[in-house]
Amino acid sequence: MTESTNSTVFVLLNWENDVESTNSTVFVLLTRKNDVESTKEAKFVLLTQRLNYMRIESITSAQNPKIKDLLALQEKSKERRKKGLFVVEGRRELLHCIEAGYEPYTVFVCPEILSEGNFDEIGRKCDCPFIEIPQHLYDKVAYRGGTEGVIAELRCKEMSLEALKLRKDPLVVVLEAVEKPGNLGAVLRSADASGVDAVIVCDPLTDMYNPNLIRSSIGAIFTVPVATANSEETINWLKTKNIKIYTAQLQDSEWYYDTDMKGGTAIVMGTEATGLTDVWRKAADAHIKIPMLGKLDSLNVSVSAAILMFEAVRQRKSAKGNAL
């Protein structure tokens, strides 16, 4: 609702029962309709007023201990392990975390960036302290751009084999000694897209809460069940559950599309540099390979994993008469 005079515009906004009726309306006074983007300005003032009403702490200095702690969690895996916390940026990633059962510890919001609707959604789902920071400070602490004005610290969860819940004839991806967060993140995105039951990272060389991993997975680290374990534990766990182990390797292998993946299947990938260790080669029910028709003999591990995952999907869909 607007009501204009020669010199001012009054913008009337409602808080939708967020506060007592006497406080349920905010009048935002803007100077001349054509001097500012009235709707954008009004939303910013409304969100700032709401933050003030909620008595949210406001921080403006990069020297504040809470800002230093946030940066330390982003930059140091030792700090993440010590405090049992990790950092995510953006509404989508934060909501994926909450849906996966992660507990928010602190949420930092920038009212100049965060939309009112997104703030409402996050506020309803996060029962934790909120801290307001201005855009100049947000730009310093944000690990990447375009993250919708929200950064959160969350409590880590144990990623154990025992916590995994599998359906009948599960499809599992195993990665041995994966080192690059970007590769692991890309595998997790493909695992989410192909409906994989779990990704198991054996003898990991990267921190599972590394910001690069979270960013490259675009949140799939939270949508796909993930466990970490050593190789021997994982092999025993797979065999106990009657899951066939198919190792991706060039030597002594059959074509992947000639391998039956309709039953319980574990696709096992090694590093691009050294491949799989002997413990996996010896434990395998079959060795599988992807045709290489060019002059090179290797694919990026995330590309190879995606090909094999979707072959399993194709076989399962075809067996049910649901061709892709």
Could you tell me which of 203, 193, 200 has the C-alpha nearest to residue 223?
193
The 3-state secondary structure of 38-69 reads HHHHHHHHHHHHHHHHCCCEECCCCCCHHHHH
Q: Which domain holds residue 268?
A: 161-319
DSSP one-letter code for 64:
S
- DSSP 8-class letter at 271: B
Domain count for the chain: 3
Instruction: Indicate whether 165 and 236 sit together in one domain.
Output: yes
Tokens for 196, please give them: 């994989």
Do residue 284 and residue 175 come from a single domain? yes
In a domain, 324, yes or no: no
Are 195 and 47 part of one and the same domain?
no
- Are 307 and 170 part of one and the same domain? yes
184 and 312 belong to one structural domain = yes
Which candidate, 134, 126, 51, 56, places its Cα nearest to that of 91? 126
270, 220: one domain: yes
Q: What distance in Å separates the CA atoms of residue 120 and residue 16, rounded to the nearest whole number?
A: 11
- Bridge partners of 14, per DSSP, are 25
Q: What CATH code is carried by the domain that includes residue 204?
A: 3.40.1280.10
Q: 166 with 287, same domain?
A: yes
Residue 174 and residue 147 share a domain: no
- 97: in domain: yes
Question: Does 263 lie in the same domain as 227?
Answer: yes
Query: Do 236 and 217 have their domain in common?
Result: yes
298, 209: one domain: yes
The answer to whether residues 202 and 252 belong to one domain is yes
Does residue 60 fall inside a structural domain?
A: no
Residue type for position 18 = D
pLDDT tens digits, the chain, 324 residues: what are they? 444 333 333 333 333 334 333 333 333 333 334 444 555 555 455 555 555 545 588 999 999 999 999 999 999 999 999 999 999 998 888 999 999 999 999 999 998 888 878 888 888 888 899 999 999 999 999 877 666 899 999 999 989 999 999 999 999 999 998 888 999 999 999 999 999 999 999 988 888 999 999 989 988 999 999 999 999 999 999 999 999 999 999 888 999 999 999 999 999 999 877 889 999 999 999 999 999 999 887 789 999 999 999 999 999 999 887 655
